[in-house]
Structure 1
Amino acid sequence: MTTATAALPNLAAGTWAIDPTHSSVEFSVRHLMVSKVRGRFDEFSGAITVAEDGTASVSAEIQIASIDTKHEGRDGHLKSPDYFDAEQFPTATFKSTGLRAKGDDYVVEGEFTLRGVTRTIELALEFNGVNPGMGHGAVAGFEATTVINRKDFGITVDMPLETGGAVVGDKITITLEIEAALQS
């Protein structure tokens, strides 16, 4: 992160590749004003690059067509121009711009691009530490969360309910569970 003011402890310099088999990119959104629908993206990649001075930068890419909400019809609608428009905008990306300590945890700032719109977001980051791994090199673990407004990214479809409110809420909670492996 180019404006880092904090470094993650015990994270060796080098490139840490996100391991998609031990990581997840999930989201939730209010549905019918009373519950939440949850989903995930199954295809994503990224890396954490740590400089010799301990500053880190993060870049990631999510394949929008890999969305899975456990309902094929809903997934198809979410891929349509009403929502993500996966054909025209096949990826969402994140590139960090800063890292700062917040108590025992951190805040990662960065540019998030979704549906062709780029906005600055902040992720609350918990660094879970480093493990020597299982014979394939060191791994590090992270959990990060943020809340975005879908309308800020051009997802403006509204489906009002007769009793007030909407079928789909505006606020989307994104949760990342990340395991990254140090590349040799």
Structure 2
Amino acid sequence: MKLINAALLGTTLAISNLALADDYAIDTKGAHASVNFKINHLGYSWVIGRFDSFKGSFSYDGNQPSAFRVSIDTKSVNSNHAERDKHIRGEDFLEVSTYPEATFNSTSYKAKDDTSGTLYGDFTLRGVTKPIAIEVQKIGEGKDPWGGERVGFAGSTTVTMKEFGIPMDLGPQSAEVQIDLHVEGIKL
């Protein structure tokens, strides 16, 4: 009987914790969020860029983010060089005509302390879905000047291009891409 009561209590607490989480929309309209990337160019320099169009949401219970979802318009890649962006959109890299969207859907979060942790989830790029881990840091939270509530996070992960079916090989220095997320959520 004690085992059944403990199981019921654990289930009740898990459900009540989910009920306490608030939903947030990522503030892309106000340009208070970004999805950036950085890749080594042949061992000589860095190509830095971003995706201009994306959307997403997450839940937050005052301790940790959960149910984190991001959808990226791959056609919106912007490395500040039109010819390079055309190449990145093509078959050698993102093949945006076939794969117009990249997504991330979280599966779990492991806190390191009160303001940092690791967000685990499934990342889909170029039609390939792989589990990734994003190192997350809470930037801050509170009321905004318009009476709303906001919370912000920054996160970073590194992915290997070949694992996501990207055929272009620029050498070993350029095999990985660092992805940085800066997210400000507005409570719904």
TM over 0.5: yes
Identity among equivalent positions (%) equals 34
* CA distance in structure 1 between the aligned counterparts of 2:64 and 2:33, rounded to whole angstroms: 23
Q: CA deviation at 1:52?
A: 9.9
Residue 87 of structure 1 aligns to a residue whose secondary structure is coil
Counterpart check, 1:77 vs 2:87 = yes
List gaps (5 residues or longer) in structure 2: 1-19
State the superposition RMSD in angstroms: 2.0
- Correspondence list, 1:151-162, <5 A: 151-159=162-170
- Correspondence list, 1:1-184, <5 A: 13-20=21-28, 21-50=31-60, 56-103=66-113, 104-159=115-170, 165=171, 169-183=174-188
Question: Which runs of at least 4 in structure 1 moved beyond 6 Å after TM superposition?
Answer: 51-55
* CA distance in structure 2 between the aligned counterparts of 1:140 and 1:100, rounded to whole angstroms: 18
* Distance change (3 Å), C-alpha of 1:53 and 1:150: closer
* CA distance in structure 1 between the aligned counterparts of 2:33 and 2:64, rounded to whole angstroms: 23
* CA distance in structure 2 between the aligned counterparts of 1:36 and 1:85, rounded to whole angstroms: 22
Give a deviation string over 1:52-84, Cα, whole Å, max 9, x none.
Answer: 997721011000000000000000000001100
* CA distance in structure 2 between the aligned counterparts of 1:94 and 1:66, rounded to whole angstroms: 17
* CA distance in structure 1 between the aligned counterparts of 2:65 and 2:54, rounded to whole angstroms: 23
Q: Aligned letter for 2:50? A: R
Q: CA deviation at 1:134?
A: 1.7
Answer yes or no: is the 8 Å Cα contact 1:31–1:169 preserved in 2.
yes
Normalising by structure 1, what TM-score?
Answer: 0.84
Q: CA deviation at 1:102?
A: 1.9
Q: CA deviation at 1:51?
A: 6.3
Normalising by structure 2, what TM-score?
Answer: 0.83
